[in-house]
Amino acid sequence: MVSTNSLKNGMTVKIDDKLWKIDYFQHVKPGKGPAFVRTKLKSVPEGKIVDRTFRAGEDLEQAIVTRTELQYLYQDGEQYVFMDTDTYEQTFVPQEVVVDAMKWTKESDVIELTFYEGEVIDFSLPANVELEITETEPGVAGNTVSGASKPATLETGAEVQVPLFVNIGEKIKVDTRSGDYISRA
């Protein structure tokens, strides 16, 4: 059990037999009445976000999760295969759990997976990744409107908007949280 006074961002708790990851919390002490804790909870693995308020000092059941960095090997049908680089043990992860992460992950990349009772429930990516552009239209001379962009397909199959001066074969940095172009790599 963990008190609502001890909550931390990223902590996983079990409420009504469902797992929730704490995305945000705020302790509130109004001038009148008892203190409370306002939270934003993300359901794991569905990803639904809800706002919930708890009394200060209320106990919640903390879910014991383990986070492990695993190397992505390949896709096998409806599953992705990851390997622990220390023990060489392979883990098969269902597509629906990590489908969002795979837009930014290429073979041999290392990502952090979260396990609960032996099952993968969540993932954590680096803030940005470097990927090569495999398909985009050439930038046309004279298209110099500030902020102009064009669609580009990356080596992982993800599509992002890039500036007109970026061409096929170049490596770019992409923000994994928003999917936005950051810079050339």
How far apart CA 116 and CA 180 sit, in angstroms, is 31
Q: Do domains 2-62 and 128-184 have the same CATH topology?
A: no
Structure tokens at 80: 């992705």
pLDDT in tens, 29-40: 988 889 999 999
Superfamily of domain 66-124: Nucleic acid-binding proteins (2.40.50.140)
How far apart CA 42 and CA 177 sit, in angstroms, is 15
pLDDT in tens, 115-131: 988 888 888 888 899 99
pLDDT tier at 142, thresholds 50, 70, 90: low
**Per-domain boundaries in the chain:** 2-62, 66-124, 128-184
Closest C-alpha to 97, from 47, 48, 50: 47
The SS3 of residue 101 is helix
Closest C-alpha to 144, from 120, 163, 117: 163
How far apart CA 139 and CA 62 sit, in angstroms, is 52
Planar angle of CA 116, 98, 180, nearest 5 degrees:
130
pLDDT in tens, 48-67: 899 999 998 889 998 888 98
- DSSP 8-state class, residue 31: S
Task: Write out the CATH class of domain 128-184.
Answer: mainly beta
Residue 132 has pLDDT above 70, yes or no: yes
How far apart CA 53 and CA 32 sit, in angstroms, is 17
pTM, two decimals, is: 0.74
Q: Which fold has domain 2-62?
A: SH3 type barrels. (2.30.30)
